[in-house]
Structure 1
Amino acid sequence: MIGVIDHTDAPRLSPKAGGFFGPDGNLQLLQDAAIPFAGRPIALVIPRPRSRPKRPPPP
């Protein structure tokens, strides 16, 4: 794992720049500690890239 991003270290969204989501444009993920409903993302885990599988040797 490379890291975890939560509301304490996520980049801040600017209402002037847009960038909000959802049907009403009001979804702001990882912007504060509030969890208004079950199932809302509370963190983002950044995994290490997997190594590419080795190709079998040519016949």
Structure 2
Amino acid sequence: MRTVIVAPEIPAEAKLKCADPVKLPDRDLTGGETVSFWGRDRAALRICETRRAAAVGASNVQ
């Protein structure tokens, strides 16, 4: 009998770099711009967390 350690395969999506926050212009933002930029950053954060969770899930497979 022999023991073989098999590393789990990490999903490709989980290896992608998380998006950088939106670059803000060097001026006061309008209310609409504030909401829009905030929304983009929040969406990117959720996508990144989904990928991270997939990587963690894949690495915990036994």
- Whether TM-score is above 0.5 comes out as no
Which of the pair is proportionally richer in strand? 1
Which of the pair is proportionally richer in helix? 2
> TM-score if structure 1 supplies the norm length?
0.25
> TM-score if structure 2 supplies the norm length?
0.24
